[in-house]
Amino acid sequence: MPTPALETPAALRAIETSLSRAMTEMPALVLLLGAFGPLLVERAWLREAAPGWIGPGPVVDADRFAQGVFVLADSGFQDMSGHLPGAAARLLPVMARSFPALEPEITVLAAALDSGALSPEALAAAGFGEPVSVPGVSAQTLNFVASELTRPFVERQAQDLAALVKGLPWQQASCPVCGGAPNMSVMRRIRDESEFIQAHGGRRFLRCSSCSTEWTHKRVSCPGCGCEEPEDLLVLRDPARPYERADACKRCKSFLLCLDCGELAEAPDPDVAALTMIALEAQARREGFTPLAEHPWSGL
C-alpha cells in the first residue's frame, strides 16, 4: 500500500503563496525573492520537524514577568547543537545555490563541520553571536549561515515558551520570550470575543528578530524610545502598496517595517512581506534612520 503524501504545513503554504504573489506583483524583486525564498521555505520545513522545548518549561513568575523580566532571562534556549549537522545537510546546499558568491565559503564551512574541525557546539555558539573562527570563512558569512541554521530550532522552542505567558501582561518593546529586539510590526484586526467587536483599526504586534515571537504593543509609539508625539513620528510609504510602510522616529532616529493586514483579504507571510519592503528599508536608511534590528537581507 503506498505511503500517503505528507500534507504541506499551513505556515509553509503561506510562504510559498506569498512568494509566488510577490514575484508576480514585483518583478524587480525576482532575484532577491528567488535567492531568499528557497531559504525561507527550507527553514520552515526544518522548524516544522524541530523538537521544540523538551521537558518542563522555565518557571514564570507572573509578577517578575509583568515588570519586564522575559521568560529566558535566567537561562537560554535549550542546546540544539545535536540537530545542526542534519540541518546543515539540508540547508547548506540551498544556501550555496541561492548565494553563489558565498558558495566557496559555504563549501569550506561544510567540510569543516564534516571533518570535526568545526564542532556542532561551536556552530551553535556562532548562531547566537559568539565569536567563532573557521579558516577560509569570513566572520560575516559564518554568522549568517550559523544564524540561519539555528533559527528553525530557536523559533520552534519559542512557540512552546510563548504559550507559557499567553494572556499575561507585557508592556515592553523587547521580546517576552528571549528579550530580542523587533525587526517588524504587523497590524491585525482582532475580534474581542468578550464584546463581539473588532478592535478599532487593528492591534499592533511586534515581531522578534531573534525567535519570531509576536506580542502586542501600543499602536502609536516608537518601540525604540517610547516617543508618542505625532510630530516626531514619521511614516514612509509607497502609495502603490499602502499596506506596507516604515514607521520612523525623528527623536531616536530608528525605524521599523510595518505590514498593515487590516484591509487585506489574505495576509502575506511576514518574512516574505519584509522582503518586499526592502525599498522602504533603503529609503529609511537614506533618510538617516537605523533599524531597531536587522533582517538577514538588511542593507542590501
> Which residue ranges in the chain fall short of pLDDT 50?
1-6, 194-199
Residues 231 and 283 in one domain: yes
Domain boundary among 163, 192, 217: 163
Q: Which residues contact 262 (CB under 8 A, 6 or more apart)?
A: 187, 188, 189, 201, 202, 243
Residues 255 and 152 in one domain: no
* pLDDT of res. 264: 84
Residues 136 and 194 in one domain: no
Residues 104 and 178 in one domain: no
Given a contact cutoff of 8 angstroms between Cβ atoms, the answer to whether 50 and 153 are in contact is yes
266 inside domain: yes
Q: Which residues contact 220 (CB under 8 A, 6 or more apart)?
A: 228, 230, 233
9 inside domain: no
Residues 155 and 230 in one domain: no
Residues 274 and 181 in one domain: yes
Per-residue pLDDT tens over the stretch 87-132: 999 999 999 999 999 999 999 999 999 999 999 999 999 999 999 9
6 inside domain: no
Cα–Cα distance measured from residue 14 to residue 9, given in angstroms and rounded to the nearest whole number: 9
Tell me which residue range forms the domain holding 266.
Answer: 170-291
Q: Which three cell numbers stand for residue 9?
A: 504545513
39 inside domain: no
* pLDDT of res. 195: 43
36 inside domain: no
Domain boundary among 163, 191, 219: 163
283 DSSP 8-state letter:
H
Q: Which three cell numbers stand for residue 214?
A: 509576536
* pLDDT of res. 4: 40
Q: Domains in the chain: how many in total?
A: 2
Domain boundary among 97, 132, 163: 163
77 inside domain: yes
Cα within 13 Å of Cα(63), Cβ side: 0
Residues 204 and 113 in one domain: no
* pLDDT of res. 189: 79
* pLDDT of res. 120: 98
Residues 186 and 156 in one domain: no
